[in-house]
A and B are shown apart, each in its own frame.
Chain A
Amino acid sequence: MGALGKPIILMVAMYVFLKFVLPYIPGSAPLPSSLIVLYLLLTAAGIVIFQTLSGESKDAFWGPMQRFLTGENIGGMQAIRYAVLILFPLLVGWQTYGSTAASDVPPSESRTIHPAPPGEYTGLSNPVQKTPENIMQGKGFYAAFCSPCHGANFDGKGPAARGFNPPPANFADPTTIAMLQESYLFWRIKKGGVGLPIEGAPWKSAMPRWEAELPDEWIWKIILGEYDGAHQSPRTWE
C-alpha cells in the first residue's frame, strides 16, 4: 500500500474521530474547527517525524510525493497533479477571504442557566413542613403567580411565555429543579432575573423579583408545590 497510504488513512481516521465520534462520547462536546485543525497538524507533524527517522523510510515517504509533483511520464496522475496545483492556491484564497470577511452573525451569547447562587442562599432547608395542606397551598400560589409563564403543567409553556428569551424554565425537565436544591430555588424566586450574576445574563430575564411582593413563607410553599406538581425531588447531598 506504500509509505504514503498509512499516513493518509491515519489522517482521515483522526479527522473522522475528532469531528464525528468525539462529540458523541458522553460528557464531550463538538470541537471548534480551529482545534481540529491544530490536532490534525500535530498528527501530521508526528507522522513526518516518524517517517523520516531512517533514510529508508524517508525515501519511501517522500519519494511518491516527489514523483507526484515533479516526475515525468506519470500518465493519469498528470491531470491530478495540475488539479492539486490549481486547487491548493484557490483553497488558501477562499480560506483567507472567509477569515477576513465581516461576520453576519449576531454576537453569540453564552448564558449559564444555573449560575452559582450567593453564599447566603446555599444549604438553606425549607422551613415549611411538607404536608399535603402546604403542598396544596403552594400549588395555589404557583397557579396565581408562576403558571402564567411556567405553565399549569410545570412545563414552561404558560400563555405568557411565548415572547420571552430565555424561555421560562421547564420544571418537568430533569435538568432543571431536579438538579437543584430547594435553597437554590428560594434564591431564584426571591431575587428573580435581576438577581442573576453576569454569566446568567440578568438583563434578558423576565423572572420577577418576588421578594418585593411575596413573603418568604409563600415562596417556600411554592417550592413544595413546584416539586410535587412537576413530579421531581430536590437534589440532596446524601
Chain B
Amino acid sequence: MKPANLVMQRVLRGGSAAIAAMIIGGASLSFAQESVAVRAAIVTGGLPVDDPNAAAWSTAAPATFPMSPQVHWPNRIQEVTVQDVIVRAMHDGKQVVFLLEYRDPTQDPDDGAALEFMVGDKKAHFAHGQPMLQVEGGPVNIWFWKHKTDQAVDMTAKGFGTLKAQEHQDVKAKGAYANGTWKIVFTRNLSTDHPDEDVQITPGNFINVAFAVWDGRKDGAGELVEKGSQKAVSSWWYFRADAPPDYSGYMYAAIAVTLALGFQFVLIRKLKKGQ
C-alpha cells in the first residue's frame, strides 16, 4: 500500500471515531431553555429562619426579577418605586426559607411584600388567579408581609375580590431594613395539611412563583401612593427546591460501559474466529 493511501486511511478511520463521538455527544447537547428560576439548595446546618442578615444567605444563589407597575386591572398604577427584586431560597427537607431583597429609599409602616404561588395542577393567572375565559384556572397562595406588623399572612385567592386570610396560618416572616434596602425572610414547611389552599413544595419539581411589593410612602396630601392593587408586580417565574442527590445515574452509566465493553469483546472474538 502506498504511504499516501495509508495516511488517508488513518485519517478516515480516525474520523469515523470522531463522528461517533459527535453523534453520541450531540444527542445530549440540547439547547437550554432561557428561563429564570429561584433555586433552593439543601442545607444541613440549620436554616436562617427569622434572620434576613444571616451569613448563610451569602451561600444561596440570587435570582433577580424585574418588576412592573400593576396595570392589569383597576385600580392601576403607572409608576412604582421598586424596579427589581432579588430572591434567594434554601431548604432542609422540612422547611423552606425565602429571602426577598429590594431597594426602597424610605422605610414606611405601610411597606409590604408578597410571594404568590400556583396551588395544585391547574394554571392560575398571576393576577390573583383571576378567571380565564377559555382555560379553567386554579387558586393562588399568597404569603403577604407588612412592615407594620412584621408578620406574614397566609392568604388564598381565586379571582378579584376573593383574597382572604386562611384559617390556618402556616407562614412566618421577618423584615430588616438597612441602607435603603429591605430584606424579608419568609418561612414555611415544604408541605402542609391543606393542599387545596397552600402550595405544596416537592423537592425536585419546578413550581410557579410571582412577587409583589408595595412602597408605603405617602404623597404630598398624605395619601398612600402604593396600596391594594396599586403595587409593583412580577410575572410568573419558577421556583425549585433541590432534590436530595441521586447517584443512580452513575450506576446506569457503569452498566452501560460494561455492556459496551462486553459487546466489543464478543465482536472482536467473533471477527478473530472468522479469519
Contacts and interface: CB of A to CB of B under 8 A. Distances in A.
Given A108-B33, A204-B126, A8 B28 contact: no
A25 interface: no
Contacts of B22: 15
Interface stretch (B8-16, B163-171, B175-183): B8-16
Interface in B104-163: 118, 123-127, 130-135, 137
A96 to B, nearest CB: 4
Given A66-B271, A160-B71, A194-B125, A98 B28 contact: yes
Interface stretch (B87-95, B185-193, B250-258): B250-258
B21 to A, nearest CB: 6
Contacts of B26: 19, 33, 36-37
Given A159-B79, A203-B137, A92 B68 contact: no
B264 A88 contact: yes
Nearest to B140: A203
Contacts of A162: 66-68, 83
Contacts of B137: 203
In this complex, the member of A91, A149, A207 whose beta carbon has the largest number of chain B beta carbons within 10 angstroms is A91
Interface of A: 1-2, 4-5, 8, 11-12, 15, 19, 30, 32-34, 36-37, 40, 64, 66, 68-70, 76-77, 80, 83-85, 87-102, 105-109, 148-149, 159-166, 191, 193-198, 201-204, 206-209, 213
A193 B27 CA distance: 37
Contact of A102 (B79, B236, B246, B271): B246
Contact of B13 (A80, A95, A159, A201): A80
Interface residues of B, number: 84
A84 B29 CA distance: 22
Contact of A69 (B68, B69, B240, B271): B271
Contact of A91 (B21, B131, B235): B21
Contacts of B65: 163
B173 interface: no
Interface in B233-275: 233-238, 240, 243, 246, 248-250, 252-261, 264, 267-268, 271-272, 274-275
A160 B72 CA distance: 11
A209 B8 CA distance: 69
List 10 A-B pairs, minimum CB-CB distance, nearest first.
Answer: A163-B68, A98-B28, A96-B256, A89-B260, A93-B257, A97-B253, A165-B235, A93-B253, A92-B260, A106-B238
Dominant SS among interface residues on chain B: mixed
B257 A89 contact: yes
Interface string B29-40: 111110101000
B275 A70 contact: yes
A203 B236 contact: yes
Given A77-B13, A88-B264, A15 B23 contact: yes
Contact of A213 (B14, B74, B206, B255): B74
B17 interface: yes
A70 B272 contact: yes
B104 to A, nearest CB: 16
A11 B26 CA distance: 14
Contacts of B118: 203
Contacts of B267: 69
Contacts, number: 212
B59 interface: no
A191 B72 CA distance: 12
Given A4-B12, A100-B249, A108-B33, A194 B131 contact: yes
B25 interface: yes
Nearest to A208: B72
Contacts of B257: 89-90, 92-93
Contacts of A107: 206, 238
A44 to B, nearest CB: 9
B134 A106 contact: no
B10 A202 contact: no
A68 B68 CA distance: 65
A100 B253 CA distance: 9
Given A19-B26, A77-B13, A97 B68 contact: no
B221 interface: no
A66 B257 CA distance: 22
A211 to B, nearest CB: 11
B20 interface: yes
A203 B135 contact: yes
Contacts of B29: 33
Contact of B133 (A89, A109, A194): A194
Contacts of B132: 194-196, 202-203
